[in-house]
Structure formats: structure tokens, C-alpha cells
A = this chain, B = another copy of it.
């Protein structure tokens, strides 16, 4: 799984850059790349790193604050918010939902159950490591 930088933007996507950045930060947090209370890059720092305007980063951070994902301490920095326990359950529910959607699509594409199972086993093995 090659990855340029933790956060990835696609400038030719129709989705606005600020919205992509919001999703990317949420993903980094959800995946545990950034932990609760960890300091994340400042507006300026991130703007330079991503080659975008600080205003754009600021807009994304605004949104993330509103969504309770990060918290800003003026003059200090931006930090990952502590994840409320409730968020845990919500995340599990999302996972379940995503699995169901993938399976539904496989069914719609007439993928045989056995083939789908094979894809699943491979995905788990690649990610969690060989069983036991």
C-alpha cells in the first residue's frame, strides 16, 4: 500500500479541496495515524506541505472543529479531540454498513458467494496477517 503523504488530495476531483481535506483528516484519525490529544500540523505548515492556500486549510480545520474531530488552542496548536466512547459504537456501525454495501454490490454483480469469500479471506490475511 504505497502512500505519498498521510493526507492525500486530488486536485482534479470535483469535490472541493477543503472537503477532501476534512475527510482525509478524519480518516487519519479513524485509522489511528493521529491519536487523541496529539498535535497535528498547523494551518500554515499543512498549507505548505500540501501546496494549497492557508485559507483552505483553515476552512477545513473550522469544519473539523465544528464536527468535534479536532480542537484548536490559539497560539498553541491544533489537536485531535478525545474520542467520546459513543463515537466508537458509531464507527463500528459504519464498518458494518460499509461491509453490507460491498456485499450488496457483489450480489448485484452476480459474483458467486465463493468468489466473494475468497476476496474477503485474502483481504483479512493481507491486513491482519496470517491466521493465528
Contacts and interface: CB of A to CB of B under 8 A. Distances in A.
Interface string A10-44: 00001110110000000100111100000000000
A99 interface: yes
Given A14-B15, A30-B105, A108-B30, A100 B123 contact: yes
Interface residues of A, number: 44
Q: How many copies of the polypeptide does the oligomer hold?
A: 4
Interface of A is mostly: helix
B108 A31 contact: yes
Interface of A: 1, 14-16, 18-19, 27, 30-33, 53, 66, 75, 88, 91-92, 95-96, 98-100, 102-111, 113, 115-117, 119-120, 122-124, 126-128
